[in-house]
Amino acid sequence: MATEQRTAPRINKLSFISFVKREEDEQKCPISLGRTLNISTTGLGIEIFQEIAPGSTMEMEIALGDEIIPVRGKVVHGSEAESGCWHLGIEFDQVQEKLAAVVLDHP
Protein backbone atom coordinates (compact mmCIF):
# COMPACT_ATOMS: atom_id res chain seq x y z
CA MET A 1 0.00 0.00 0.00
CA ALA A 2 1.33 3.45 -0.97
CA THR A 3 2.21 5.94 1.74
CA GLU A 4 0.30 9.23 1.70
CA GLN A 5 2.76 12.02 0.82
CA ARG A 6 0.41 15.01 0.84
CA THR A 7 1.23 17.71 3.36
CA ALA A 8 -1.96 19.80 3.02
CA PRO A 9 -5.67 18.92 3.08
CA ARG A 10 -7.07 18.35 -0.38
CA ILE A 11 -10.72 18.69 -1.38
CA ASN A 12 -12.59 17.40 -4.41
CA LYS A 13 -13.42 20.45 -6.52
CA LEU A 14 -14.26 20.79 -10.19
CA SER A 15 -13.00 24.02 -11.78
CA PHE A 16 -11.79 24.86 -15.25
CA ILE A 17 -8.10 25.41 -15.87
CA SER A 18 -5.99 26.60 -18.77
CA PHE A 19 -2.40 25.43 -18.96
CA VAL A 20 0.82 25.37 -20.90
CA LYS A 21 3.77 23.01 -20.57
CA ARG A 22 7.17 24.69 -20.29
CA GLU A 23 10.75 23.49 -20.62
CA GLU A 24 13.39 25.96 -19.45
CA ASP A 25 10.87 28.82 -19.79
CA GLU A 26 10.03 27.83 -23.38
CA GLN A 27 6.36 27.06 -24.09
CA LYS A 28 6.13 23.49 -25.43
CA CYS A 29 2.43 23.26 -26.30
CA PRO A 30 -0.44 25.57 -27.21
CA ILE A 31 -2.64 26.84 -24.41
CA SER A 32 -4.95 23.95 -23.51
CA LEU A 33 -7.95 23.43 -21.24
CA GLY A 34 -8.75 20.90 -18.55
CA ARG A 35 -10.42 20.65 -15.17
CA THR A 36 -9.38 20.21 -11.59
CA LEU A 37 -10.32 17.01 -9.78
CA ASN A 38 -9.03 18.06 -6.36
CA ILE A 39 -7.19 21.02 -4.95
CA SER A 40 -5.09 22.13 -1.98
CA THR A 41 -2.67 24.93 -1.15
CA THR A 42 0.29 22.77 -2.23
CA GLY A 43 -1.00 21.03 -5.36
CA LEU A 44 -3.90 19.73 -7.38
CA GLY A 45 -5.16 16.83 -9.42
CA ILE A 46 -6.24 17.65 -12.97
CA GLU A 47 -7.86 15.91 -15.92
CA ILE A 48 -6.61 16.86 -19.39
CA PHE A 49 -6.67 15.41 -22.90
CA GLN A 50 -2.94 14.92 -23.46
CA GLU A 51 -0.10 13.09 -21.76
CA ILE A 52 2.45 15.24 -19.95
CA ALA A 53 5.44 13.45 -18.44
CA PRO A 54 6.31 13.55 -14.73
CA GLY A 55 8.91 16.23 -14.04
CA SER A 56 7.40 18.62 -16.61
CA THR A 57 6.72 22.20 -15.52
CA MET A 58 3.22 23.56 -16.07
CA GLU A 59 1.81 27.07 -15.82
CA MET A 60 -1.90 27.09 -15.08
CA GLU A 61 -4.78 29.45 -14.44
CA ILE A 62 -7.52 28.09 -12.19
CA ALA A 63 -11.03 29.57 -12.47
CA LEU A 64 -12.57 29.78 -8.99
CA GLY A 65 -15.85 31.65 -9.03
CA ASP A 66 -15.13 35.12 -10.40
CA GLU A 67 -11.42 34.86 -9.75
CA ILE A 68 -8.61 33.49 -11.95
CA ILE A 69 -5.62 32.26 -9.93
CA PRO A 70 -2.29 31.77 -11.76
CA VAL A 71 -0.10 28.92 -10.46
CA ARG A 72 3.04 27.10 -11.53
CA GLY A 73 4.05 23.56 -10.62
CA LYS A 74 5.61 20.25 -11.59
CA VAL A 75 3.89 17.07 -12.68
CA VAL A 76 4.65 14.47 -10.00
CA HIS A 77 2.58 11.61 -11.46
CA GLY A 78 0.18 10.84 -14.28
CA SER A 79 -2.01 8.02 -15.53
CA GLU A 80 -4.37 7.42 -18.41
CA ALA A 81 -8.02 7.09 -17.38
CA GLU A 82 -10.44 4.63 -18.97
CA SER A 83 -12.03 7.58 -20.80
CA GLY A 84 -8.75 8.28 -22.62
CA CYS A 85 -8.11 11.45 -20.60
CA TRP A 86 -5.02 11.88 -18.46
CA HIS A 87 -5.10 12.39 -14.69
CA LEU A 88 -2.08 14.32 -13.41
CA GLY A 89 -0.87 15.21 -9.94
CA ILE A 90 0.75 18.64 -9.78
CA GLU A 91 2.90 19.99 -6.95
CA PHE A 92 3.03 23.79 -6.83
CA ASP A 93 6.38 25.60 -6.83
CA GLN A 94 5.18 27.52 -3.76
CA VAL A 95 2.24 27.32 -1.36
CA GLN A 96 -0.81 29.05 -2.84
CA GLU A 97 -2.36 30.96 0.06
CA LYS A 98 -5.10 32.29 -2.25
CA LEU A 99 -6.41 28.72 -2.43
CA ALA A 100 -6.59 28.38 1.38
CA ALA A 101 -10.06 29.97 1.47
CA VAL A 102 -11.32 27.40 -1.05
CA VAL A 103 -9.99 24.53 1.06
CA LEU A 104 -11.13 25.98 4.40
CA ASP A 105 -14.61 26.98 3.16
CA HIS A 106 -15.32 23.51 1.83
CA PRO A 107 -18.08 21.81 3.90
Kindly report the CATH number assigned to the domain that includes residue 71. 2.40.10.220
Residue at 94 is within a domain: yes
pLDDT for 72-98, tens place per residue?
999 999 999 999 999 999 999 987 877
Residue at 100 is within a domain: yes
Mean pLDDT, the chain, integer: 83
Which of these, 102, 100, 42, lies nearest to 71 by C-alpha position? 42
Range of the domain at 29: 11-104
Residue at 59 is within a domain: yes
Q: Which residues on neighbouring strands pair with residue 46, listed in sequence order?
A: 36, 88
Total tally of structural domains belonging to the chain: 1
Percent of the chain with pLDDT over 70: 85
> Strand ranges (DSSP E) for 1-107?
11-12, 16-23, 26-27, 32-39, 43-48, 57-64, 67-80, 86-92
Residue at 72 is within a domain: yes
